[in-house]
Structure 1
Amino acid sequence: MPVVAALGSLVLLRGVLMVSPGCFLLRRKAFCQHRVISHSYCEHMAVVKLVCEDTRVNAAYGIFVAFAVIGVDLTVIVVSYTMILGVVLKLSSSDTQLKAFNTCVSHVCVILAFYVSGLFTFLTHRFGHSIPQHIHILVADIYILLPPTVNPIIYGVRTKQLRDKIVVLFQRKGI
């Protein structure tokens, strides 16, 4: 339990340290007439677009944070999975190895759902100037909604009892 608390504290500290400077950079800026964000939640780049001054520092800091977070996260994930695969390959039973690989595939699917949608929304705000505003909003909403939506589906499909109950449910309904 102390390890989990320490890791949770590190994640919280990283979030505060990475997000706070962006907030302080925005606080010093003058905003235009309207202050309505055209998103369903307060996204950093949506707020930056309301500023009437030069926002190159904000944009550069946003790029730095995004790539630093993705870079550190992916490095930790790759190192972790390399260690996991080393242990799995040493297991004696091929059935146990297959079960462990299936679990790893589920984890990787959830990770990809989060990072791919997040990277896409990040890149469309910075480089997709010809993309219509409603597409930006849709992509940002997908980033917020897709990972938590597919998470139980991905893990649930791997659970045999749940899969069997879903099959029985669909058979009753004639689907």
Structure 2
Amino acid sequence: LEKLYANRKGLKKFEASSVTIVDGSIYSICDSSWSISKLNPSPLKRFSTSNTMLGKPHLFPEDSGFEALFESNGDFYALRESIQYGLSYSSVVLQLSLGSKDYEITSQCRTEFEFDGTSKGFEGAVGFRDDSGELYIIALCEGNRCSESNKSDVGHGRVVLMRKVLDSSNAENCVWQTY
């Protein structure tokens, strides 16, 4: 990715973790950066000014942990792998509104599904809407049984189906509930 940008915004580490195509543009995220890459594929050129990084790569002090990106009804959704909340670890789903140079986080909700720690969480996801228009996410766990400790327990991969619900028990007032 690094050779695609005319302006890398000081970023030196590019580890793409998800990619999606929307309206003829390629969007990509890296788990080490808070920026979202927007690439022009017609044609895809090195050091092109039409390839941009939306947002600030170092928006927050920690790495983004971005592991999945998809679009639904004009909004983008990015999943952070696993974030510590007190004694538990959950993924966080960010709802994003993308502009021409930046993006706004319009909502962020943790997942009800919990993990053992920060190194094993969701590693990919897709979103879809049901017949009534409600958004669901299918997320792919990293590791067998979504666990840091069951590394040798081969053959027990997992996907998790979730939908967003209101929840007044946390600061975000929402949670991605597991089905």
Give the TM-score, by structure 1 length: 0.20
Structure having greater relative contact order (Cα 8 Å, sep ≥ 6):
1
**Structure with the higher fraction of residues in helix conformation:** 1
Q: Which structure's CA Rg is the greater one?
A: 1
Give the TM-score, by structure 2 length: 0.20
**Structure with the higher fraction of residues in strand conformation:** 2
